Amino acid sequence: MSKRSGYEDLEFVSDFYDSMYNQLPRRDIEFFLGYAKQAGGKTLELGCGTGRVLIPTASAGCEITGLDFSPYMLQKCREKVAKLPQKIQKKIHLVQGDMTNFDTGEKYALATIPFRPFQHLITVAEQKACLDCVHEHLREKGKLVFDVFHTYLPRLIDTRYFMEMAVGESLQLPDGRVVKRTERTAAFHHAEQYNDIELIFYVNYPDGRKERLVHAFPMRYFYRYEIEHLLSICGFKILEFYGNFDKSGFNDESPEMIFVAEKTG
Ligand SMILES: C[S@@+](CC[C@H](N)C(=O)[O-])C[C@H]1O[C@@H](n2cnc3c(N)ncnc32)[C@H](O)[C@@H]1O
């Protein structure tokens, strides 16, 4: 079982997640929603987290199963789902599981892996296991849509990234805590193609107490043709490839690598 992203054993990560990404919104929700609407059947979202993409997808009328191995992220998602109208709640199924080894007992028209959970799979064996499971769960000609970041070469060699760098504005949590964030790279692992990353949270409590919390995890980086080969080996044909969520083409400056693939065979 792959168990190294920190989400599965650090509860505070789920406490801060929604505030962080409400503040720094990604433009990916509409993108993934578009594929769910076109799919003509159920969607399976791997690494669904707190439901940032899953809830808008169900709210737009699409049936969706979310799988995640973090009990904390899933709990946040469940709390949000419980506040939705019954008819939207009925469109949502949540499953705790590992995306490298799961069996929901269903076939889907679409599988998605939004916001880089695939980069928590460090080894090729884990990546292939995930793609094999997805293949098994897709109906004939079902689609897989997922994004990874476009690897930025200075972040692989420049030791200035070992210094903590401030990220975003302070987070104001509903319970009164105020959180300042930094991030840094803790180590390079060129031979295995991943960096150790630390997301660091400086928490100020309303009573004056202070705490420093660290979400540390390894993050795999990929190159375009590596993913193309992986998809091909695992029985997928690439239909579309983008450099950003506005569907612009991939080039040197693109922030993302976004793959839309179809199950073959
Ligand atoms: C960056 S969050 C993305 C959450 C959500 N897709 C979104 O767009 O906001 C990564 C998620 O992947 C989950 N995850 C990481 N590795 C996983 C694995 N092997 N199996 C299932 N979930 C995993 C984490 O628990 C976390 O919720």
Q: How many structural domains comprise the chain?
A: 2
Per-residue confidence (pLDDT) for residue 23, from 0 to 100:
78
| 118 and 231 part of one domain | yes
Rounded percentage of the chain residues whose pLDDT exceeds 90: 92
Looking at every residue in the chain, the average pLDDT score rounds to 96
- Ligand 1: distance of its center to the CA of 17 in Å? 11
Per-residue confidence (pLDDT) for residue 43, from 0 to 100:
98
At residue 101, what is the residue type?
N
| 252 and 121 part of one domain | yes
| 110 and 241 part of one domain | yes
| 49 and 144 part of one domain | yes
Whether 122 is in a domain gets the answer yes
Whether 6 is in a domain gets the answer no
- Ligand 1: distance of its center to the CA of 50 in Å? 9
- Check which CATH number belongs to the domain holding 88 and give it: 3.40.50.150
Per-residue confidence (pLDDT) for residue 5, from 0 to 100:
84
Sequence-ordered list of residues with C-beta below 8 angstroms from that of 64, at least 6 positions apart, any chain? 36, 42, 43, 44, 45, 54, 57, 58, 91, 92, 93
- Ligand 1, residue 116: give the atom nearest the CA: 1
- Ligand 1: distance of its center to the CA of 209 in Å? 30
Q: Which of 1, 7, 44 to mutate to test the pocket of ligand 1 (most atoms within 8 A of CB)?
A: 7
**Using CA positions, which residue lies closest to atom 9 of ligand 1?**
52
**Using CA positions, which residue lies closest to atom 15 of ligand 1?**
117
| 25 and 136 part of one domain | yes
| 60 and 140 part of one domain | yes
| 46 and 90 part of one domain | yes
- Ligand 1, residue 100: give the atom nearest the CA: 19
| 42 and 170 part of one domain | no
Residues with CB under 6 A from ligand 1: 2, 5, 7-8, 47-49, 52-53, 68-70, 73, 98-100, 114-117, 120
Per-residue confidence (pLDDT) for residue 265, from 0 to 100:
74
| 205 and 116 part of one domain | no
Give the domain extent around 70.
11-150+222-263
**Which positions of the chain have pLDDT values less than 70?**
1-3, 25
Whether 5 is in a domain gets the answer no
Whether 60 is in a domain gets the answer yes
| 249 and 135 part of one domain | yes
- Ligand 1: distance of its center to the CA of 68 in Å? 6
Q: Are the CB atoms for 127 and 113 separated by under 8 Å?
A: no
Whether 23 is in a domain gets the answer yes
- Check which CATH number belongs to the domain holding 165 and give it: 2.20.25
Whether 1 is in a domain gets the answer no
| 234 and 214 part of one domain | no
- Ligand 1, residue 8: give the atom nearest the CA: 25
| 216 and 226 part of one domain | no
Whether 121 is in a domain gets the answer yes
- Ligand 1: distance of its center to the CA of 164 in Å? 24
Whether 142 is in a domain gets the answer yes
- Ligand 1, residue 70: give the atom nearest the CA: 25
